[in-house]
Amino acid sequence: MTDHGGVAADHLRSFIERIERLEEEKKVIADDIKDVYAEAKGNGFDVKVMRKIISLRKRKPHEREEEEAVMELYMHALGMLAAAGEVNA
């Protein structure tokens, strides 16, 4: 292992090359995901909604429920939702 100024060059090179390989794999996977979204869109699915659902599924149920409750509170405050028992005209 070559040591330049206290840096183990071979060890550093190994890390850099591993990261570069993983970045390439990540790009391939990202392209595959993009293709799946394009296929879904071509079949009439709303990709924006699909992305939101995927985001929600990554969260724990209590985290989703908390966010939904806060969103509903804010929407009521902005007049975007009728209060319980209220009828929208």
* Domain contains 12: yes
Question: What is the extent of the structural domain holding 34?
Answer: 7-45
Alpha-carbon gap, residue 15 to 72, rounded angstroms = 47
* Domain contains 35: yes
* Domain contains 82: no
* Domain contains 87: no
pLDDT digits (tens, 9 = 90+) for 52-62: 999 999 999 99
* Domain contains 22: yes
**DSSP-H helix ranges across the chain:** 9-42, 47-57, 61-77
C-alpha dihedral (39, 45, 50, 51), degrees to nearest 10: 60
Residues 6 or more apart whose Cβ sits within 8 Å of residue 50:
37, 40
pLDDT digits (tens, 9 = 90+) for 63-88: 999 999 999 999 999 999 876 556 55
What is the count of structural domains for the chain? 1
> What pTM does this model have?
0.68
Residue 4, beta-bridge partner list: 7
